[in-house]
Chains A and B, each alone.
Chain A
Amino acid sequence: MPENAKKISFAKCGEDSTCGTSREREAAYSGSKKEMTCVVCPTGCVLTITLNADKSVKSVTGNACGRGVIYAENECVRPMRTLTTTAALANGRMLPVRTDRAVPRDTLIDCMREINRKIVAPTAKIYDIIIENVADTGANVVAAANGSDCA
């Protein structure tokens, strides 16, 4: 590191004025409105959510389809995500895997931990269930490819 190094630790996301995340937009709203990007499909509609006094969803605008409303409702309560990752095959190669449905975002690290402990037989076929009910989410982890294609 150069002697005249200026080392500054980073401002929290949203506090730094150069930060361009939508959390910034969230913070900008007074509390009765929220803005977020829907992640259900690649279109990425920008949703504006009006909240009731008890912070439940009153209405959603900006969505191109009904899935956006469900997404907004989930996001306000407990955001859900599909997890895509890899699992180790017994021969040392990596098998792409995914959850067969969305899981709560706050369980992603637990799911990762469980998946990373697993050793999968190289004979696994695409869509075989690798782990049932991962991290007690109700979702299964399935193979996203054939083990034999992962050499």
Chain B
Amino acid sequence: MKKQLVIIGGGPAGMAAAVAVRDHGIEDILILERAAHPGGILRQCIHSGFGLHKFKEELTGPEYAWKYEQMIAERGIELMTGTMVIGLTQEKVVTAVNPALGVFTVEAQAVILAMGCRERPRGALNIPGTRPAGILTAGTAQKFVNIDGYLPGKRVVILGSGDIGLIMARRMTLEGAKVEMVCELLPYSGGLARNIEQCLNDFGIPLLLSHTVTEIHGDRNLQTVTVSQVNTNRKPIPGTERLVECDTLLLSVGLIPENELTAMAGLTLESTTGGTAVDERRETAIPGIFACGNVLHVHDLVDFVSDEAELAGHGAAAYIQGKARKGRPLIVAAGTGVRYTVPRHVIERSKPVKIYFRVTDVFRDASVVVRDSRAVLFSQKKSRLAPGEMESVTLAPELLKRASGDILTVMLEVQNA
């Protein structure tokens, strides 16, 4: 099989990219999606909060996905569900498998990677103790509850106060479980303040900052967990251990971009994002392979995933249409206070570029500064910056062209020492 464009993943990133590619004139598109329906993770995100930026409406995950499914259908874009992609080469040959076609290959002119991410499991955290039933990542519990209609347990401890953990605290409570607490290793929560309010405070669920689960007990099924306070080095403080009876431990302790295929194609992964490096069109180091969404870097809001996917779609269309780009790459580096930037480099300086970034800690009254080797080119005050909230700055062409040298650094300057 030969296609102009193959999109790996029919979730929000893949669908938005497909729409963008089609709207830029490319018709020979194939989306490969492993689930029986498109929508990706949005299918199980039945809570609201999606679409406020993109559609000026507050939608649930399935509603947001539905909007794109309609766009895909209206444009007649080919979507193959129940199909798992198992291989990708540097030459853009995609290998996939499904019950009808068996194992098959697609030679693509361009590929957009939109595989999303997975959750970090207990084993990766080295939590000692037994290995009973009842330990799930929050997303797996979310699938059981929202897709299958089953409650994993009735006395729940949640480790990790990222949004998925907070959302599941509310969800489990509404379906009749008792959520005993949410433990958060850091001294601040990674989740949105509105979720702390609606998911914890509304139900009187305690949030224990600077706490973690240090041991698991229970032979066949979970019986108790040991919760300990941690010090500034995130190490458990002896003497602070307390036992919490529970039958379910939900883990919301990190998302990992799903880059097995990316690595198979020979692309390297950044340790800061878990994804590969891209330019402003979301093109990777392999010409014609693009990446967008959670597979590139973990997003907080799906609205920005859609924006990013449109960039990748536009980029892929331009690539297929043979529109070459000129310019010396401008490297975007992460400076003090900034953990990473996407994109990692900029090629075309004649258009504005939106640089997404995450900060390393919670900062108040800081300035986001963009500078080259000689001077500050851009500065913007921000009253609050947090690692759990992805930020962006838009750099105008004049600024990009003015930049001297090859490196632009995005960094923070804190006002008060």
Query: Which residues of A line the B interface, CB within 8 A?
Result: 1-2, 5-8, 10-13, 16, 18-23, 36-39, 41-42, 44, 46, 79, 81-86, 88, 92-94, 96, 98, 105, 108-109, 112, 126, 144-146, 149-151
**Which of B13-21, B99-107, B186-194 is near enough to bind chain A?**
B186-194
Say yes or no: B63 contacts A145, CB within 8 Å. Answer: yes
> Which of the residues B149, B192, B196, B244 comes within 8 Å of A21, measured between beta carbons?
B196
Query: A108 — which chain B residues lie within 8 A by C-beta?
Result: 174
Say yes or no: B196 contacts A22, CB within 8 Å. Answer: yes
Say yes or no: A2 contacts B217, CB within 8 Å. Answer: yes
Query: A12 — which chain B residues lie within 8 A by C-beta?
Result: 204
Within 8 A of A (CB), among B185-223: 188-189, 192-194, 196-198, 200-202, 204-211, 217, 223
Who on chain A is nearest to B44 by CB?
A: A96
Within 8 A of A (CB), among B48-73: 48-49, 52, 58, 60-63, 66
Counting chain B CB atoms within 10 Å of each CB, the highest count among A10, A20, A79, A126 belongs to A20
Interface size on B, residues (CB 8 A): 55
Query: B234 — which chain A residues lie within 8 A by C-beta?
Result: none
A23 vs B352: C-alpha distance when bound (angstroms): 43
A-B contact count, CB below 8 Å? 129
> Which of the residues B39, B52, B200 comes within 8 Å of A42, measured between beta carbons?
B52
> Which of the residues B149, B211, B229, B244 comes within 8 Å of A86, measured between beta carbons?
B149
**Taking the complex as formed, is B4 at the interface, i.e. its CB lies under 8 A from any CB of chain A?**
no
Say yes or no: B197 contacts A39, CB within 8 Å. Answer: yes
Counting chain B CB atoms within 10 Å of each CB, the highest count among A11, A18, A151 belongs to A18
Say yes or no: B242 contacts A16, CB within 8 Å. Answer: no
Say yes or no: B63 contacts A6, CB within 8 Å. Answer: no
Given contacts A1-B223, A5-B224, A13-B206, 11 further A-B contacts (CB under 8 A): A1-B224, A8-B242, A16-B206, A19-B207, A20-B189, A22-B197, A42-B49, A84-B46, A85-B171, A96-B62, A150-B147
Given the contacts A36-B197, A44-B194, A98-B60, A126 and B66 also touching, CB distance less than 8 Å? yes
Who on chain B is nearest to A87 by CB?
A: B149
- Nearest-neighbour CB distance to chain A for B386, whole angstroms, equals 11
A36 vs B207: C-alpha distance when bound (angstroms): 16
- Nearest-neighbour CB distance to chain B for A82, whole angstroms, equals 6
Given the contacts A37-B196, A38-B194, A112-B174, A149 and B37 also touching, CB distance less than 8 Å? yes
Who on chain B is nearest to A86 by CB?
A: B146
Query: B60 — which chain A residues lie within 8 A by C-beta?
Result: 84, 96, 98, 144
Given the contacts A19-B207, A42-B301, A81 and B181 also touching, CB distance less than 8 Å? no
A44 vs B52: C-alpha distance when bound (angstroms): 13
A5 vs B215: C-alpha distance when bound (angstroms): 12
Q: Which 7 A-B pairs have the closest CB atoms?
A: A44-B193, A145-B62, A96-B46, A39-B194, A44-B194, A20-B209, A37-B193
> Which of the residues B61, B147, B193, B217 comes within 8 Å of A1, measured between beta carbons?
B217
A83 vs B199: C-alpha distance when bound (angstroms): 12
- Nearest-neighbour CB distance to chain A for B170, whole angstroms, equals 9
- Nearest-neighbour CB distance to chain A for B40, whole angstroms, equals 13
